Structures are given as structure tokens and as C-alpha cells.
Amino acid sequence: MTKKIITGGTIVTATDTYKADILIENEKIAQIAAKIIDSEAEIIDATGKYVFPGGIDPHTHLDMPFNNTVTDDDWESGTIAAAFGGTTTILDFCLTAGETKLSNAIEKWNEKSKGKAAIDYGYHLMISDLNEETEKELPLLLEKEGITSIKVFMAYAKEFQATDRTLYKAFKIGKETGAVVMVHCENGSVIDELVEQAKLAGNTAPIYHALTRPPELEGEATKRAIELAYVAGATLYVVHVTCKEAVDEIIKAREKGYDVYGETCPPYLTLDQTALEKPNFEGAKYVWSPPLRPISHQEPLWNALKAKQLQTIGSDQCSFNFNGKKQLGLNDFSKIPNGGPFIEDRFSVLYSEGVAKGRISLNDFVDMISTSAAKIFGLYPQKGTIAVGSDADIVLFDPSVKRTISAQTHHMNVDYNAFEGLEVTGEPISVLLRGEYVIKDKQFVGSLDYGKYIKRKLAKKLSDEEAVVPN
């Protein structure tokens, strides 16, 4: 591997913004200094560009069986699209539902990702049920595989939903192992009833997806998860927070010193519930869970990000083609596969809607898109920052470019883009993963066997000083 020097750019981390050169050697950042001279090194001119740490997307579903079908982006198209968008590490959900041994699920996920990852990756282990065997296996497996996060669903009654008892047991294992417990917070049982009532009343259009999943049921489940995590003494990470009701519960808990983190996603910050009313069944393109909310929920989400009460931005990449997949629910909204394509635009949409529109600072952007996830999920400081000794995962970002997001030009394997027509400011121009180009001048030049599985470390809690946990 040749040495590289990135020169002339503005380095931005979660805490600092400054001009300096970066020397890359043996996959790592070897030196950062005002001027670096090395005649053997390849020079990368970053004049006029921001030099960001590679994005870390803590929430993806690639090649995942769900809602009687499978997501349309697999590891190849998903990780290439992620790289185009400035993401160099993803954490994907490994489903264990239906497995007698949890390790079988890891083997399946390894089969899916093998030779198909353009960027680095890890897994969160999803738990829908625990029995005597799996309860014993789980802590050993987490340690063996370097997995420091478990995921539990309080929704999807017919597929993944865990009982409160299982949720509590997962929190106990989280407490014992130090793993973060990620929870999809919606009251799945009540939603199921509302869905049934809506269908009985003849209400089958996509908008009923949103109307049968009101924000109160996200707020209620968020509060329940917070209290169960507290009783068990676990660290809770609430995935895809969408509404004021859930944000309020998270803020209350954090103010009490509970170890609770929250993630939101670009569509909840930029789109709203009216998208589900688009004619010709186009509303189905915007069906995911929790659903898009009335526009009034966007401001509480931005405020919570700004106040660091929500820490991360996940894509919740879970793509289904409109033709053939979303259309499964043409006559019944409950059959529309839940999920959307966001892995590629997560970084740019947050930059454009957040930094360029003055809602968040440049350093907070880096924190949300990369650093906080690295810290919470045990990747820091190997990843998530630009520092000597860290992996040379680097995005050269041109903040002066204006472009329009479109399915015509995106790299995801899906026939629509939920942000179609959105004009964004800024674009990742080149992306390096452990010192090698994955994207060079907006072209994919990476390789599908370079992305590496990362065994993670248990994270020091971000709020160790102020955390209040029983036991």
C-alpha cells in the first residue's frame, strides 16, 4: 500500500475544525501536521474540501427477509451505495428469529456479506425470543463475535415482536455483558388491533399505515422500554425516534441520569405524513415504521439533536422496489413491506438540511453521522474520528456542490428514491477506507473483498459520570 498525504483540506471532527495535512500509512492515520512532506507518498489535493471521518451508519437491513419478502439492496449494492454517500462502516441487523441456535444466524449473515462488502461492517444481534438454551448462548456468542449490541422489537406482532418479559431478559443480559440494547419502540399489539379495525372499516390505502401507528404508541413504548431498561440496569438505545412523544420520554430519562441514547433518521427530519397520501398508490413508497409524522414533529427532533438528547443518525436502510414489492399492498396497506432506501443519502441529507441550513454545527454533524455511533457501539477511536492511530476512513466532501437527489443517479438497487427532487448542498467526492480509495472522484474504485468484519469492544458509556443505574 502506498503512503498517501491529504493536503490543503479542512479537517473536521466532532470537536475541531482546522487546516492540516494527513499522512496515511498501513491503513492508519500516521501523522497530522501543518505541512507533511514525503517524496514516496501519493498526494491527494483536498483544497476547498472538508475532510470528514468516514460515516458510520448504525442501522441497516441488507438482504433481510421481512414482511414476506426480502430487502432489495444486498451487501454488494448496499455497501457500494453507502460508500458513494460517504459511509465507510455499517452495523447491520442479524436476524435470529426462528433459529434454535443464535450462532446459525451469524453464519447466515456471514454468507450474505462474504465477498460482497465494499466497506467495513459489524452486526447487531436481534432477539425476538429467549429460552434456556439461547439465554446461555447469547453472552458467549456476543463475546466470541465481538458484538456489543442486541436489538429487540416491541412491534411487528406477527414477525419479531418480543414480550415485555423477553425484553426485560435482554436488558438483564445487556447489563451483565455490557452490550447496548437497541429497541424499536412502538406498541405492536395495539397497532395490530388498530390495523384490523381499519381494514374492517374498509380503509386500505397507504395513509392508514400512519394513522394506525399514532405517535402516542411510540411514546408509550419508549417510556416502557426506558423503565424496563432502568430496572434491569441496562443501557438503552432507542432506534429511529420519530416524534415529540418519544423525544420527551428520552429527555426526561436522560435528565434523571438514565443511560438512554436515541437515534433518528433523515426522512423523519425532512418528510412528513402527507407523503403517504400521494396519488396512484405512490404513498406506498413512504411506508416504513414508525411512520412519517405530521410536520410539527420535525422541530422537536432537530432541537433534540442540537441539544445532544438524540445522538445518532441511522439510515434504517430497508429498501423495497415500488414495482413488485411495495405493490404487494395495493389492496391492503398492511401488506406493503415496511422500509425505505436511505443508506446513500443519510450523510448528504443531514449535511444539507442540517449544516447548510444552519440547524446544526459542522462539528455536531460529524458527531451525529460518525463519532457518537463509534462511541456507543465500541468502534471508537479506531473509527469515528480523524486522529493519529485511527483507521484512515476519510471522506473528502465538497460543500460548494449543489445537486438533486434522484433514483436516476443513485446507486441503490431500488426503483425510487424517497428524496426524489430534493436539492442538496454538498457531496462526497472521494472516500477512503483504511487508506484505500473506495470512491475516487465520484467513481467506485473499491473492491468487494476489502470490506472487513469488525469485532467491536465494549464501549465506555458516554454518560458514565452521570449515569444512574440500580444494582
Cell numbers standing for residue 296: 410539527
Place of cell 451483565: 176
- The yes or no reply on residue 288 touching ligand URP (CB under 6 A) is yes
Residue 430 β-bridge partners: 396
Is 205 within 8 Å of 333 (Cβ atoms)?
A: yes
Q: Measured from the CB of residue 215, what is the shortest distance to ligand URP in angstroms?
A: 15
- The yes or no reply on residue 364 touching ligand URP (CB under 6 A) is no
Of the pair 141, 318, the CB lying nearest ligand URP is at 318
Q: How many helices (H) and strands (E) does the chain have?
A: 13, 21
Q: Measured from the CB of residue 128, what is the shortest distance to Zn ion in angstroms?
A: 12
Residues of span 142-201 touching Zn ion by CB under 5 A: 184
CA angle (282 as vertex; 278, 288 as ends), nearest 5: 95
- The yes or no reply on residue 63 touching Zn ion (CB under 5 A) is no
Is 115 within 8 Å of 89 (Cβ atoms)?
A: no
Q: Which residues contact 199 (CB under 8 A, 6 or more apart)?
A: 332, 334
CA-closest candidate to residue 22, choices 450, 438, 426, 432: 432
Of the pair 145, 186, the CB lying nearest ligand URP is at 186
Q: How far is CA 174 from CA 127, 260, 367, in A?
A: 12, 13, 24
- The yes or no reply on residue 184 touching ligand URP (CB under 6 A) is yes
Q: Which of 119, 253, 318, 405 binds ligand URP (CB under 6 A)?
A: 318
Of the pair 188, 428, the CB lying nearest ligand URP is at 188
Which region, judged by CB under 5 A, interacts with Zn ion, from 65-73, 79-87, 313-321, 449-457? 313-321
Q: Measured from the CB of residue 160, what is the shortest distance to Zn ion in angstroms?
A: 9
Q: Measured from the CB of residue 133, what is the shortest distance to ligand URP in angstroms?
A: 26
Q: Which of 88, 177, 222, 289 binds ligand URP (CB under 6 A)?
A: 289
Q: How far is CA 13 from CA 75, 308, 386, in A?
A: 28, 16, 6
- The yes or no reply on residue 316 touching Zn ion (CB under 5 A) is yes
Is 371 within 8 Å of 385 (Cβ atoms)?
A: yes
Q: Measured from the CB of residue 184, what is the shortest distance to ligand URP in angstroms?
A: 5
Of the pair 69, 425, the CB lying nearest Zn ion is at 69
Rounded distance between C-alpha atoms, residue 16 and residue 149, angstroms: 29
Q: Which of 339, 384, 428, 446 binds ligand URP (CB under 6 A)?
A: 339
For ligand URP, the binding residues (CB under 6 A) are: 61, 184, 288-289, 316, 318, 338-339
For Zn ion, the binding residues (CB under 5 A) are: 184, 316
